[in-house]
Structure formats: C-alpha cells, structure tokens
Structure 1
Amino acid sequence: MSIPLLKYSLSTQNQRVDGYEVSPGEEQPRAYNTDNLPSSVEMDEVIWAAYRQIFSEHQILSSTSDSNLESQLRFNQIRIKDFIRGLVLSESFRKLNYDVNNNYRFVEICVQRILGRDVYNEREKLAWSVVIASKGLESFINMLLDSDEYEENFGDSIVPYQRRRIIAQRSKGEMPFNLKTPRYGADFKEKFGMPQFIWQGPVRQFRPQEQRPKAGDPALFLGMVNDLATV
C-alpha cells in the first residue's frame, strides 16, 4: 500500500496573487512555447530556456546537453513537457543535484525549477521527501510534472519559468531561482564536516583620503577623551 501525499497548507505567495503591472518590464519572465511552430532560431531559444530553467546557469555544461531529446523536440516527436521530463530524469541532473544534497534540499530545487515557485513551508518539503523515500525519484518527478498546478500554468508546450519573479525579488530580496547555487546546502556541509570559513580578525573599513580627519579636527581627540572618561 503506497503512502498518500501528506497534506500541507498553501501559504500566500506572489505567484498566487493576480498581477497588477501596467506594462511588461525587462525583469518579468518570458514564456517560451512551441504553440506557433517556432523557426529554427526560435527553437534554439526554447531549448536554451529549458536548459537554463532545469539546470540553472551554474550547470549548463556539455555533459548536461541531450542531443537525442533536442532532436525529438525539433521534429515535433515530443512536447516541451516531455523534454523537461527527460532533462530532470537524466543522469546529469541526478548527479549535479540529488547526489550532492539531501531530500529536503532536492525537493526545494525541483519545486522551484519545475513548478516555478518556492516551497510553501517545511511541511511541503517533508511531504515530497516522503514520496522520494517511498516511491523513488522518478515517481516524485512524474507527480510534479503531472500535477494540476503544472498543467494549469505550463501545460504541454510552455517551458517552466519562475512565476511573478519581479515582485518576489522586490519583496523578499531574492535572486531568480535559476541563479541560485544548487549544490551543498548548509545542512549538507555540516553533515559531511565541510570547513566553514569565518573571519576572526578585525574588520577594517576603507575611508577615502578626502574624508579622513585633518590635523586639529576634534575627531582625532575623541579616543583620548574616551580614555580619560574611563579612568
């Protein structure tokens, strides 16, 4: 008997709020799709967008490319959703993301890259981690891709993207998901005893020459006054 997905609350996030932008800006995500039979150059952009979303800009390497999947997509043998599924289930994705993180961190990465949003809370991380432990990685990935949330936002022909990114950056001060370093979360480093470099020396601040006090400036005697006050 398989374990059902644990319930978790759907906390309010920016992607769940209707947009109010008057006109699109450069920071807003662009939706790449194959609905209008893209040209060869446009298909190159679609494929690049898929790699950038799934592997992030830190992991786009020659080893992560899959010419077989690309060829099938170009000749309309598979849809964007199938292409995304192939990338996420690839050995390269597993090696670069799952093998170097625990299940909680891996869940966070996959939700961000596949569903285009951050995890709602720790309860959601736990729920999907149970799926990985009990059903395996492939079932977990398929459940995300076959979910109603994915279908409603991306369907079969749209490359996943970070939804409502510009507001998320302004309100939370976060960078786009595909720019976040995907490897080695804090708990993973602690588990394997990786060194934590903490500066123990004094912190020195640079002050331009024109801002430094000149001879006779009362600021030069402030330290002497403080010393006398403590006697």
Structure 2
Amino acid sequence: MTIPILNYTFSTQNQRVDGFEICPGDEQPKIYTTNNLPTATEMDEIIWAVYRQIFSEHQILTNTVDPFLESQLRFNQIKVKDFIKGLLLSSSFRQLNFDGNNNYRFVELCVQRILGRDVYNEREKYAFSIVVASEGLEKFIDFLLESQEYIENFGESTVPYQRRRIIPQRIKGEMPFNLKTPRTARGFLNKGNMSQLHWSGIIRQFRPQEKAPKAGDPALFLTMANEIF
C-alpha cells in the first residue's frame, strides 16, 4: 500500500519572493532553453548546462556522459526534461548520489538540482524520503519532474537552475547548489554496515625522497638485522 505524503508548510525562501532587479545581472542566472531554436554551439552550451546542473562539476566524468540522449536532444526527438530524466535514472547518477547517501541526503540533492531550491524544512525532507522508500527512485524522480513547481518554472524545454542564487550566497556565504561537492552525509557514514569505508590494511608512513636513508646510514643496518631475525 502506498504511504500518503506528509503535509508540510512552505518557508519564505528567497526564490519565492519577487525580485526588484531592473536589469539582468549577477542576481539572475543565465537561462538555457531550446524554445528559441538554438544553433549547434548554443545546443552544446545547453547540454553542458544540463550535465553541470544534474551531476555538478564534480561528477561530470566519462561514464556520466550519455551520447545517445545527447543525439536525441540535438535532433529534437526529446525535450530537455526527457534528457534530464534519462540522466537522473542512469546508473551513474544512482551510483554517485543514491547509493552513497541515505534517503534524506539524496532528497536534498534532488530538490536542489531539479527544483532549483533548497528543501523548505525537515518535514518536506521526510515527506519526500517516504516517497523514495515506498515507491522507489523512478517514482520520486517523476514526482519532482511532473510537479506543478517544476512545470511553472522550467517547463519542457528549460534547464533547471538555482533560482535567485546570488542573494542567499551573500547572506549565508553559501555557494550555488551545482557547485557543492555531493559528499556522503555524516549520518550515513556512521552506519554499522559501512565496513567497506574503513581501511583494514597496513598504514605506511610517507617519507620524502630527500629524507630517505643513504648508504652508510645506521637505519639501513637496523632494517637488515630485523629481516634476518
């Protein structure tokens, strides 16, 4: 049986308040969209913007690139939202973000990268975590991509971006979401079943080359003696 999503209240975040900017500036992110029939160069920029938003610059690797989805987008066979969904459901995204985090941290990352904002509060984080736990990863991704919030802000053809990202950065000293390293949550590292994260081998001390013992050094004789006995 599907567990109903929890109710939660909206907090007054920066992206929910209308701005007073007269001219475009640093406070307004660059919009990447296919609505205006982009050129080949502009399409390259759009594809790069998608990778940068969904994987962040820290995760754009050879195995995260999907040439097949890129080709479909270039020939207008799919929309930007379809391209994004394909990346979110890829094994690379799952391995880098879902497998290495608990549901709470994964929900936080997805809301930041897909909806372009931070979670409103802990209750919203718990509500989305229930969706992940009860209905699975794909249903949760669909839940965000088909939400009214996503449709109103990005639609089918616009790459998600952090809405009004600069003002919170100045106030809190935070960097944009897509530049944050998606580290594993501290609470997940404390799990007892994460033995693979603990090194059980021999820990060797690094010695710079200029400090290595030279011929005639007593340390070499001691090492040889220990090997004999």
Same fold per superposition (TM over 0.5) = yes
Tell me how far 1:26 sits from its aligned partner. 3.6
After TM superposition, the score normalised by the length of structure 2 is 0.82
Tell me how far 1:186 sits from its aligned partner. 1.5
Distance 1:169 1:100 in 2: 27
Tell me how far 1:28 sits from its aligned partner. 3.1
Identity %: 71
Which residue of structure 2 aligns with residue 128 of structure 1? Answer: 128
Q: Aligned partner of 1:63: which letter?
A: N
* Contact residue 27 and residue 164 of structure 2 kept, 8 A: no
2:100 counterpart of 1:100: yes
Distance 1:16 1:173 in 2: 20
Which residue of structure 1 aligns with residue 43 of structure 2? Answer: 43
Distance 2:183 2:174 in 1: 17
> What does residue range 1-231 of structure 1 map to in structure 2 within 5 Å?
1-26=1-26, 28-191=28-191, 192=194
Tell me how far 1:27 sits from its aligned partner. 5.4
The unaligned stretches of length 5 or more in structure 1 are 196-231
Tell me how far 1:5 sits from its aligned partner. 1.4
RMSD of Structure 2 on Structure 1 (CA): 1.3
After TM superposition, the score normalised by the length of structure 1 is 0.81
Q: Deviations over 1:5-34 (max 9, x none)?
A: 111110110000001123222453111000
Tell me how far 1:190 sits from its aligned partner. 2.5
Distance 1:22 1:166 in 2: 16
Distance 2:145 2:129 in 1: 16
Which residue of structure 1 aligns with residue 212 of structure 2? Answer: none
* Contact residue 112 and residue 177 of structure 2 kept, 8 A: yes
Q: Deviations over 1:147-169 (max 9, x none)?
A: 00000000000000000101111
Q: Deviations over 1:175-226 (max 9, x none)?
A: 100111112122122224868xxxxxxxxxxxxxxxxxxxxxxxxxxxxxxx
Distance 1:48 1:74 in 2: 13
Instruction: Give the total of aligned pairs.
Output: 195
The unaligned stretches of length 5 or more in structure 2 are 199-229
Which residue of structure 2 aligns with residue 208 of structure 1? Answer: none
Distance 2:171 2:24 in 1: 18
* Contact residue 96 and residue 183 of structure 1 kept, 8 A: no
Q: Aligned partner of 2:135: which letter?
A: K
